A and B are shown apart, each in its own frame.
Chain A
Amino acid sequence: MLGVGLAVASAVAFAFTNYYLRLASRDLRQGSVTAWSSITGFIVAILIAVGFRESFAGIDGWGWVSIAGIALVWFIIGRYLMIMGLRLIGLSLTGPMMGTIPIWALLLAFFFLDDQIGWTQVVGVSMSTFGLIVMSRAGR
């Protein structure tokens, strides 16, 4: 039950993140919002890691490459593009489009990690694609 509560709380927190970044992107350029939000993102992350007495030792070369890749796709390219989306088409369209993240994860795992896709996943991808078309036409 605690785990479910934490997961719901994280979903609410991500939604508020999108909302605040949308508000900021009305006044500031998207690059600027990306840069400013990185400051507190880093401070909070380092405080929590140190608070939980996590060890930063023993990361090998591949670990560093992976972390750099995560930084690039989550917090540099991903965040910049999301803020650009928030700025150009607003929260009401960008937010639901973030719902396609599992679809992209599935497709990337299929193409690059040779994961299998069953017929239910094909139906899921088709449903999401149809939803994207409906939303795009509605928001125009």
Chain B
Amino acid sequence: MQKRTRVAYLAGIAAALGAAASFGGAQVLTSATVETLSPLVVLAIAQAIALVANWGLFSRDVYLDLKEKRRGYAISLLGGTISTVAFVLVFSALKEVSVVIVAPILAGGVPIFTLLLSFLLLRRAEKITAGTFVGAAFVIGGALLVTTTAGV
């Protein structure tokens, strides 16, 4: 049982880092694409492709959840809404100021605000230790050093 928990923990870390790597690749690809195309058009079409693909790929999960009468659909829909609003806010910010200013704010701001939300709202459900904050500070510090000196 303990071994299974450890495997799940390592799988979770691998998934989170895989997601970050995927988003990092997306950042490189997006910055090249929006040089010639409107960011809002790219966002809308990419979301349309993702909608079709995700429902094709994960329809079995959706079916099983519906069959088991689980809850959480409204929160998922809310998550999708806020995610797109966040992207539009990034594009709006980039119209006003340079990426040199926006990138560090995102690199530092997203983990800080997420950790803050986690601490304030999920303290009882998740294990948050001093080590989590120290580790996060190093991650954010490293990311800020990279974005402020490379202009990513």
Q: What residues of A have a CB within 8 angstroms of the CB of B53 in the complex?
A: 71-72, 76
Instruction: Please measure, in the bound complex, the distance between the C-alpha atom of A106 and the C-alpha atom of B148, giving whole angstroms.
Output: 12
What class of interface size applies to chain A in its complex with B?
A: 35 or more
* A138 pairs with B143, CB closer than 8 A: no
Residues on the A chain within 8 Å of B18, using CB: 77, 81, 85
- Assess the A37–B65 pair: CB atoms within 8 A: no
Grouping DSSP codes into helix (H, G, I), strand (E, B) and loop, the A interface class, with mixed when no group exceeds half, is helix
Main secondary structure, interface of B, reads helix
Could you say which of A22, A89, A128 contacts B9, with CB atoms under 8 Å apart? A89
With contact pairs A49-B44, A75-B46 given, residues A138 and B129 touching in the complex (Cβ less than 8 Å)? yes
Chain B proximity of A87: nearest CB distance (Å)? 7
User: By the criterion of a CB under 8 Å from any partner CB, how many residues of chain B are at the interface?
Assistant: 120
From B44, B50, B110, B129, A11 is in contact (CB under 8 Å) with: B110
Q: What is the bound-complex CA distance between A40 and B144, given in angstroms?
A: 31
Asked if A78 and B76 make an inter-chain contact with CB atoms under 8 angstroms apart, the answer reads no
With beta carbons under 8 angstroms apart, the residue of B9, B41, B51 that contacts A140 is B9
Distance in angstroms from B146 CB to nearest chain A CB is 4
A135 to chain B, nearest CB (A): 3
Binary per-residue interface labels of chain B (1-39) against chain A in the complex, 1 for a CB within 8 Å, 0 otherwise: 000000011011101111111111111111011001110
Given contact pairs A7-B109, A18-B117, A35-B62, a sample of 5 additional A-B residue pairs in the complex whose CB atoms are under 8 Å apart: A38-B51, A49-B43, A71-B45, A106-B24, A106-B152
Where the two chains meet, the residues of B that have a C-beta atom closer than 8 Å to any C-beta of A are 8-9, 11-13, 15-30, 32-33, 36-38, 40-51, 53-55, 57-62, 64-65, 70-73, 75-90, 92-97, 101-103, 105-119, 121-122, 125-132, 134-147, 149-150, 152
